[in-house]
Amino acid sequence: MLSGQRMLSKDWWLLIKREVRKVENEEGLMIIDDSIEEKPYTDENDIICWHYDHSKGRSLKGINFITTLYYAQEVALPVAFEIVSKTEKYIDKKTGKEKRRSDTTKNEYYRQMLRTTTRNNIPFKYVLNDIWFASVENMRFVKKRLGKRFHYGSQRQSQGSTFSRR
């Protein structure tokens, strides 16, 4: 796959669809998270650039990507992904330095990816994400537009408790 042409999320779906259909379940869970693959020694470009890493409390040079995993019947399969491409350059007002930004926010990608999983007829009941994606707009989208619930992790998960926000 790495030596071929650039793969898009829709191309990936065509490869993984058969496996998803084997495990799909109405009680399924969509898990969305972003990650940064560090590339400290690679020249900067639209994809390999600086991204803030909340877990480390600083910016890192690398590839920022968002993945959607489908979890059903004790199987987790990646069903969608987006690579954050920062194509717009601007001058930071505080520092006066040139920076990059994406024309699509991570929250917009979040909603797009959930729309895609719904369009692909993947049955699921819950969405799981970290607090970073817990904006009012995203929560309303999941609850009102998709008719899905949120599954909260940490202690609640270990106690088997799930609930949804209205």
Average pLDDT over residues 2-27: 88
> Which range, of 48-57, 78-87, 147-156, averages the lowest pLDDT?
147-156
Q: Is the pLDDT of residue 153 over 80?
A: no
Q: Is the pLDDT of residue 161 over 70?
A: no
DSSP SS3 for 138: helix
Handedness of CA 154, 82, 101, 141 (dihedral sign): negative
Going from N- to C-terminal start, the domains of the chain cover: 9-158
| pLDDT one-digit tens code per residue, 51-80 | 999 888 999 999 999 999 999 999 999 999
Residue 121 has phi, psi (to 5 degrees) of 60, 40
DSSP state of 145: I
Name residue 67's beta-bridge partners. Answer: 33, 81
DSSP SS3 for 17: helix
Q: Is the pLDDT of residue 18 over 60?
A: yes
What helix, strand, coil percent values describe the chain, rounded to 5? 30, 35, 40
Whose structure tokens read 């969305």?
A: 32
DSSP SS3 for 126: strand
Residue 68, token pair as written in the block: 């959607």
CB-based contact 69:77 (threshold 8 Å): yes
Handedness of CA 100, 58, 129, 132 (dihedral sign): negative
Q: What is the pLDDT of residue 5?
A: 75
Give 86's pLDDT tier (boundaries 50, 70, 90): very high
Measured between alpha carbons, how far is 45 from 34 in angstroms, rounded to an integer? 19
Q: What is the pLDDT of residue 152?
A: 64
DSSP state of 2: T
Nearest CA-CA partner of 116 in 70, 63, 164: 70
Q: What is the pLDDT of residue 158?
A: 36
